[in-house]
Amino acid sequence: MRSTTGVPGRGAPDERFFVLTGGPGSGKTTILDELAARGMAVTREAGRGIIQDQVLVGGPALPWADPALFAELMLCWELRSYRAAAEEAGPVFFDRGTPDVLGYLRLSGARVPPHVQRAAREVPYHRLVFVTPYWPEIFHHDAERRQDHAEAERTCEVMLAVYRELGYETVLVPRGTPAERADFVLERVHDQRPAPCEVAGHGERAESPPALP
């Protein structure tokens, strides 16, 4: 990860750690790639990296083989990313956070251990959490993404519910090009105030991002 300037700088994690979450295949990681190309500090998604590593070594911690073990590795990954981000001087944009592990277990119907609940509650991020809603036109399968369209949409709903239950303010990122969506995120980070696209329920239409000055 790299340090950045131009958006709020040094401070506590709940002032400068910004999570992007949502359903699979909704453009979340593409937005983070765009932010990284602009010099922003970003983290990488736990799930995809773990699946790639486990397949490489023939390990058992795969979501279709052992969801509970997969969740434990995701939690470890997220906590390690969090520690690494603390070394950064400025804002860091996270490809999911510890609450996503809770959401994953809830989505899979598995028991949520107390330590996962504690991590979701006590590892703080900025109060504004950016959510990329289910986008069927760009959703596709690959070697790591085996969810169908219904599960992708349900994942977004569950993540919205989890973050809201934990007291975060969710901001739906409108559809657009990667550059437009990255602009939208940076505008909200600059503003540090609720965005017009915050909605009470999943599936409502979000506003287009404002033009940057």
55-92 CB burial, b ≥16 within 10 A, e <16 = eeeebebbbeebbebbbbbbbebbeebbeebeebebbb
**Lookup result for tokens 């944009």:** 93
CA neighbours closer than 13 Å in the CB half-sphere of residue 185: 34
What are the strands, taking DSSP E only, across 97-136? 128-132
DSSP assigned state of 204? P
Given pLDDT bands bounded at 50, 70 and 90, which one contains residue 192?
low
If one counts every other C-beta atom within 10 angstroms of the C-beta of residue 30, the result is 15
Q: What is the pLDDT of residues 29-57, one digit of tens each?
A: 999 999 999 999 999 988 888 999 999 99
Give tens-digit pLDDT for 87-136: 888 899 999 999 999 999 999 899 999 999 999 999 999 999 999 987 77
- What the chain holds in terms of domains, given with CATH numbers, is 13-191 (3.40.50.300)
